[in-house]
């Protein structure tokens, strides 16, 4: 009974440390996570999400191939290894959508807490999606903390519709997704 886990292909993956994605989680992290997020994380790490390869293994589907590239569609393949999805910009699109949401939340939170002037134009589509057109936000701060004592904080994001990062960042080989910066500090 003790070696049963090592004899089952998916259930036994925990016995092979080379197949497990290394992730450092504390009990505090887990305690504060939403249950569905924990479930997804565990299923992702042990490759038991609904990929075509797993659906074939579970006898729910006959074909394990990716509909885009005809390669074997595993969880890792879906996440970042499909050459067709990469060449079509699908991973970039997904990344940029997350980045847009983060930049929006940061800018909105700072604007709601502090008066600000903006050099960007914000459009909202019929579906309520915010579209950014050029510029960065100047954020005035009036609270104690990291942003205290400076009234020229700017937020910029590595997105096509946002103003580029400040010169001090552009002169390096770095390409951060979001920068909160101040010329005076």
Domain enclosing residue 154, as ranges: 100-181
List pLDDT tens digits, range 117-170.
444 555 566 665 555 555 544 444 445 566 666 667 778 888 888 767 777 777
The answer to whether residues 111 and 83 belong to one domain is no
Kindly list the distances between the CA atom of residue 8 and the CA atoms of 11, 61, 62, in Å, as whole numbers in the listed order: 5, 20, 21
The answer to whether residues 139 and 114 belong to one domain is yes
Residue with tokens 């509909």: 67
Domain count, the chain: 2
Confidence of residue 27 (pLDDT cuts 50, 70, 90): confident
For residue 61, tell me if it sits in a domain: yes
Alpha carbon of residue 184 to chain centroid: 31
Cβ atoms of 106 and 154 within 8 Å: the answer is no
List pLDDT tens digits, range 62-119.
999 999 999 999 999 998 889 999 999 998 888 999 999 988 887 776 665 554 444 4
């Amino acid at each position: 009974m003790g070696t049963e886990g090592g004899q089952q292909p998916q259930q036994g993956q925990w016995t092979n440390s080379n197949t497990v994605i290394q992730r450092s989680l504390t009990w505090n992290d887990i305690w504060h996570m939403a249950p569905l997020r924990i479930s997804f994380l565990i299923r992702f790490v042990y490759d038991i999400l609904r990929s075509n390869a797993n659906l074939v293994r579970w006898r729910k589907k006959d074909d394990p191939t990716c509909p885009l590239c005809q390669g074997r569609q595993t969880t890792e393949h879906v996440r970042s290894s499909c050459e067709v999805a990469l060449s079509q910009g699908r991973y970039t699109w997904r990344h940029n959508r997350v980045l847009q949401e983060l930049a929006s939340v940061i800018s909105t939170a700072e604007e709601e807490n502090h008066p600000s002037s903006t050099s960007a134009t914000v459009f909202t589509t019929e579906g309520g999606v915010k579209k950014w057109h050029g510029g960065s936000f100047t954020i005035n701060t009036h609270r104690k903390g990291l942003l205290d004592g400076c009234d020229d904080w700017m937020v910029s994001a590595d997105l096509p519709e946002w103003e580029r990062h400040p010169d001090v960042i552009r002169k390096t080989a770095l390409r951060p997704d979001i920068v909160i910066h101040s010329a005076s500090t």
